[in-house]
Amino acid sequence: MPSVSLQLPVAVILLGGGLVATLAGYRLLRALLALYGFVAGIIITPLIAGDLAAWELIAATVAGGLVGAGLAIGFYLAGVAVLGAGLAAFILNLAMEGDPDVRVLLATSVGGALVMLLVRHYVLIAATAFLGGWTAIVGGMALAGNEAAVTATTGDVTQLFPMVPIDGHAPFAIGWLVLGLCGALVQLRTRSRVRARKAARS
């Protein structure tokens, strides 16, 4: 288990990085991916490192963070495509009775991946707004001493919504929804302003 001393900086990073992601995630996407990947690497590495000397654990944790940052940057487009394929397959499964034909499922998944890549700007805006909102709330709750949020800073998010039913977590869910929607609207407005400026210059 990670040292308790890591929980405070992880909570601060989640709060600050989450707010930045919520309000400007698309514009700072690569930097945020690197940040979240680095944090994930920091959280995961001590869990698998075993018994190491203090300096070895620090070196392994930093190395794990750098690996996580590199993987996050390298695979984000693949993640968007996989998300589209998964959503398309899920919708097809809901629309059909029984198991769909493999060829139909494959074609639908490929089509969903392509569509998702075409509209990835809006997908990424929504994703960064809501992911950022979630992490910001968790970081703030962890700093306030909430037990479930503190546990999340060590990599265990099973005690937080949406991993648990909404019963008893309605304030968290409502706050997440409001913060995510506000962040998405801010990002969409910022993007439209940037595009308008570029159009005016050309």
Structural domain total, the chain: 1
pLDDT at 117: 83
Q: What is the pLDDT of residue 28?
A: 83
Predicted local confidence at residue 54, as pLDDT: 73
* Amino acid 5: pLDDT: 58
- Residue 45, token pair as written in the block: 């590495």
d(CA 106, CA 89): 8
| Cβ proximity of 47 and 155 under 8 Å | yes
Q: Is the peptide bond before 162 cis (omega within 30 degrees of 0)?
A: yes
Question: Is residue 162 in a domain?
Answer: yes
CB 142, CB 7: distance < 8 Å: yes
Residue-wise over 118-143: b if at least 16 C-beta within 10 A, else e?
Answer: eebeebbbbbbbbbbbbbbbbbbbbb
Report pLDDT for 44: 80
Distance between CA atoms of 128 and 70, rounded to whole angstroms?
18
Q: What pLDDT is stored for residue 33 in this prediction? A: 76
Determine the structural domain holding residue 182 and report its residue range: 4-75+120-201
Residue 17 exposed, middle or buried by CB count within 10 Å (0-12, 13-18, 19+): buried
What single-letter amino acid sits at 12? Answer: V
- pTM for this one? 0.69
pLDDT value at residue 2: 46
In a domain, 107, yes or no: no
The answer to whether residue 101 sits within a structural domain is no
pLDDT for res 60 = 81
Question: Is 115 in contact with 87 (CB distance < 8 Å)?
Answer: no
- The pLDDT profile of the chain, 202 residues, written as one tens digit per residue, is 444 456 788 889 889 989 998 998 888 877 877 887 888 787 787 777 767 777 777 788 788 888 888 877 777 777 778 878 888 888 888 777 777 788 888 999 999 889 888 888 888 898 889 989 999 999 999 999 899 988 888 778 888 888 888 888 899 999 999 999 999 999 999 988 888 888 888 7
Neighbours of 50 (CB within 10 A): 9
Answer whether residue 37 is part of any domain: yes
Q: Determine, yes or no, domain membership for 17.
A: yes
Is 158 part of any domain? yes
The closest alpha carbon to 72, from 39, 43, 94, 111, belongs to 39
Does a structural domain hold residue 87?
no
Yes or no: say if 88 and 109 are a contact pair by the CB < 8 Å rule: yes
Instruction: Indicate whether 94 belongs to any domain.
Output: no
Do residues 38 and 17 make contact, with C-beta atoms less than 8 angstroms apart? no
